Structure 1
Amino acid sequence: MSARLAPRVDDPATRGFFALAAEGKLGVLTCTDCGTRIHLPRPRCVGCGGAELGWSAVTGRGRARSWTVVEHQVHPLFPAPYTVVLIDVHGEQHVRMIGHLPGRVDVDENTEFVIEFEDLGPDRDGNARVLPKWTIAKELVADTRAS
Structure 2
Amino acid sequence: MPKMSPVPDEVSQGFWDACNEGRLVVQSCNACSWLQHPPRPECYNCGSTDSVWREMSGRGKIHGYCTMYDSRIRALQEHQPFIIAVIELEDAPEIKMFSHLPGTPVDDNVPVGATVEVVYEDTKGSDQKVAEWKVVS
Alpha-carbon deviation of 1:37?
0.3
Match of 1:62 in 2: 60
Q: Does 1:104 align with 2:106?
A: yes
Aligned position for 1:72: 70
Structure 2: 5+ residue stretches without partners: none
Listed one character per residue, the Cα deviations across residues 58-89 of structure 1 (whole Å, up to 9, x for unaligned) are: 12111111101111243343210101101110
Higher relative contact order (CA 8 A, sep 6+): 2
CA contact (8 A) 1:82 1:101 kept: no
Runs (4+) off by over 3 Å: 119-123
- Report SS of the residue matched to 2:14: helix
The separation in 2 between residues aligned to 1:50 and 1:17, in whole angstroms, is: 19
Q: How far 1:99 moved relative to its partner?
A: 0.6
- What SS is found at the alignment partner of 2:4? coil
Letter in 2 for 1:56: R
1:116 counterpart = 2:119: yes
Report the Cα offset of residue 134 of structure 1: 1.1
TM-score, length of structure 1 as denominator length: 0.78
- Per the alignment, residue 83 of structure 1 pairs with 83
CA shift digits 1:112-146 (9 cap, x unpaired): 111001134885xxxx5111111111xx2xxxxxx
**How far apart are the structure 2 equivalents of 1:119 and 1:86?**
20
Higher Rg of the two aligned structures: 1
Q: Secondary structure at the match of 1:17?
A: helix
Instruction: Give the aligned residue type for 2:54.
Output: S
Pick aligned residue for 1:37 from 35, 38, 42:
35
Evaluate the alpha carbon distance shift between residue 49 and residue 13 of structure 1 in structure 2; reply closer, same or farther with a 3 A threshold: same
- The size of the alignment, in residue pairs, is 132
Matched to 1:23, the amino acid is: E
Unaligned runs of 5+ in 1: 141-147
Q: Distance in 2 between matches of 1:63 and 1:34?
A: 26
Instruction: Give the distance between the partners of 2:38 and 2:23, measured in 1 at CA.
Output: 17
